[in-house]
């Protein structure tokens, strides 16, 4: 199970294989009462439903459940539509790579930080008189542009090519923040006052070790929604947004904890 959660694609494939075995067994009993067309589409529906259920039982994120549900239907439509050219599939693959290439490698999907969280981060920087901020996995760079300015220097780190390009252009046009196309594991965070991450549960232990090893005393690692297993945060800010977002604040050794309230007012 640990392998499946570390590499969700393995779980998704296993779910489809298991569903295929169960569907084949079910269709043996239905072959005498359904015609070929009805049998085919019954198999497609059952395959999707069972694969999605197994994926959920594996404990994978919800987008993998939807992939498990829709994949058989997408394959069936591709096979039944005659004369479909190959180039749309190539274009689709390239687009997915440009936007989500880091998802398979780092197991970090594209999460976008909402306005309430951005405002909380800005409040945190002001309370701590922080001057340097880095968003690891900055996506479209909205947090970076919002926090840069007033003697604050904010930057983002992003690897997905198209996401980086769009965010870098937006930051350049607005003259706010800097977006680097760089892996989060090679980013230099030694001078940062606050490092922010909205990643996934998988990389959090390694990210915390990186922060402990590289950040200066008193630096703060802020994780959106995903706590570091087995590590007690210095504070937890609970926001009153629709997501019920939690920000986990981990302070590096060497400085007293911040005097900001444990619960951020909504």
Q: What is the pTM of this model?
A: 0.62
The confidence score (pLDDT) of residue 238 equals 93
74-97 pLDDT per residue, tens: 877 776 765 656 555 555 555 555
2-20 pLDDT per residue, tens: 555 556 677 788 888 998 8
What is the C-alpha separation between 104 and 108, in angstroms, rounded? Answer: 7
The confidence score (pLDDT) of residue 202 equals 81
The confidence score (pLDDT) of residue 255 equals 39
What is the C-alpha separation between 264 and 266, in angstroms, rounded? Answer: 6
The confidence score (pLDDT) of residue 261 equals 41
Cα 83 to the center of its chain, rounded Å = 36
Helices (H), 152-255: 161-174, 204-214
What is the C-alpha separation between 116 and 114, in angstroms, rounded? Answer: 6
Which parts of the chain register pLDDT below 50?
Answer: 254-266
The confidence score (pLDDT) of residue 120 equals 94
* DSSP string covering 8-29: HHHHHHHHHHHHHHHHHHHHHH
- Contacting residues for 74 by C-beta, under 8 A, at least 6 apart: none
């Amino acid at each position: 199970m640990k392998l499946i959660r570390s590499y969700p694609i393995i779980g998704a494939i296993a779910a489809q294989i298991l569903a295929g075995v169960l569907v084949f067994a079910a269709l043996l009993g239905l072959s005498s009462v359904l015609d070929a067309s009805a049998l085919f589409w019954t198999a497609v529906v059952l395959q999707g439903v069972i694969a999605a259920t197994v994926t959920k039982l594996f404990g994978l994120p919800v987008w993998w459940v939807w992939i498990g549900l829709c994949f058989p239907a997408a394959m069936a439509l591709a096979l039944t539509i005659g004369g479909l050219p190959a180039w749309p599939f190539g274009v689709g693959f390239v687009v997915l790579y440009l936007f989500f290439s880091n998802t398979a490698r780092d197991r970090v999907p594209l999460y976008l930080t909402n306005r309430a969280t951005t405002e909380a981060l800005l409040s945190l920087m002001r309370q701590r008189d922080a001057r340097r901020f880095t968003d690891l996995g900055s996506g479209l760079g909205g947090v970076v542009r919002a926090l840069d300015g007033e003697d604050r220097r904010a930057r983002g780190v992003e690897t997905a090519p198209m996401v980086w390009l769009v965010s870098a252009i937006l930051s350049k046009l607005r003259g706010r923040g800097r977006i680097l196309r760089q892996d989060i594991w090679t980013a230099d965070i030694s001078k940062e006052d606050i490092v922010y991450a909205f990643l996934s549960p998988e990389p959090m232990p390694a990210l915390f070790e990186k922060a402990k090893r590289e950040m200066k005393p008193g630096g703060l690692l802020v994780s959106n929604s995903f706590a570091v297993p087995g590590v007690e945060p210095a504070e937890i800010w609970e926001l009153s947004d629709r997501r019920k977002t939690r920000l986990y604040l981990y302070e590096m050794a060497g400085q007293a904890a911040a005097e900001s309230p444990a619960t951020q007012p909504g």
